[in-house]
Amino acid sequence: MSLTGQEHQQRYFRSIDELQQTPEFQQFVTREFPQAASEFPEGVSRRRWIQMMGASLALGGVAGCRYHREEIGAFVVRPEGRVPGIPEYFATNFEWAGSVVNALIANIEGRPIKVDGNPDHPAYANSQPKDFTENKKLRSAGTTAMTQASILSLYDQDRVANPCCGKSYGRPQEVQLGRSHEQVFRMGCVRKVR
């Protein structure tokens, strides 16, 4: 590999499975059909084969008439103010390509689904004509295409799941949720202020 220099070339991939070269992916590449789909079983007569296929088709039809059993895992304690099916809105600020975004993020069942500008943020509200800020129907705050697309980053698999804290050297350490203040302090995230 290194002789041809391929190692240093950009690698393109179509799925995480391909990137990680998982056994499932290897099998998928080498076989056109999943296991047992392409083989003709040995020692079975043509007549028997047709019978079997006919039966499985018929049974498949029967199974298709019923929904499979589905379970709903309800909350033990539902978060305050959460009404299932009604979006919640959270105001937040973040930095994107050097500029500040004052965002209002729509969240449904605990999942963020849409990033929009926050019309209540003073930076936006003060720059608008009064009609816009006072009329609820006209209230909306514009965002850039990049801000709109930033919703995807929340679903990035490689996104850091927990808060991180960096020491002056080495890799930043992730702070697992549920750690006490004392533990976080010992990790060196917070410096004592005298």
Partner 1 sequence: MDCRYCHNSVDKSAHSSIPPTQTCVNCHSPKTADGQAPTLSAVHAESKKLKPVHESWRTGESIDWVRIHRLPDYVYFNHSIHIARGVSCVTCHGRVDKMEEVYQAKDQSMTWCIDCHRNPAPHIRPVDQVTNLGWSLDSEEEQLALGKKLVEENNINPQTNCAVCHR
Binding site for partner 1 (CB under 8 A): 67, 69-78, 83-86
Beta-carbon contacts of 81 under 8 Å, excluding residues fewer than 6 positions away, are 88
Beta-carbon contacts of 35 under 8 Å, excluding residues fewer than 6 positions away, are 27
Pull the structure tokens for residue 191.
């410096």
Beta-carbon contacts of 147 under 8 Å, excluding residues fewer than 6 positions away, are 96, 101, 103, 115, 117
Round to whole Å and give the CA distance between 114 and 92: 13
At closest approach, how far in Å is the CB of 58 from partner 1?
Answer: 23
Angle at 93 between CA 107 and CA 87, to 5 degrees: 15
At closest approach, how far in Å is the CB of 109 from partner 1?
Answer: 9
At closest approach, how far in Å is the CB of 120 from partner 1?
Answer: 23
Round to whole Å and give the CA distance between 112 and 89: 9
At closest approach, how far in Å is the CB of 86 from partner 1?
Answer: 5
Q: Which is nearer to partner 1, 68 or 181 (CB)?
A: 68
Q: Which is nearer to partner 1, 78 or 111 (CB)?
A: 78
Q: Which is nearer to partner 1, 88 or 120 (CB)?
A: 88
Round to whole Å and give the CA distance between 166 and 172: 4
At closest approach, how far in Å is the CB of 69 from partner 1?
Answer: 6
Q: What residue has token string 């009329």? A: 135
Q: Which is nearer to partner 1, 86 or 160 (CB)?
A: 86
> What are residue 141's DSSP bridge partners?
117
Pull the structure tokens for residue 63.
């199974």
Q: Which is nearer to partner 1, 68 or 171 (CB)?
A: 68
Q: Which is nearer to partner 1, 76 or 193 (CB)?
A: 76
At closest approach, how far in Å is the CB of 131 from partner 1?
Answer: 31
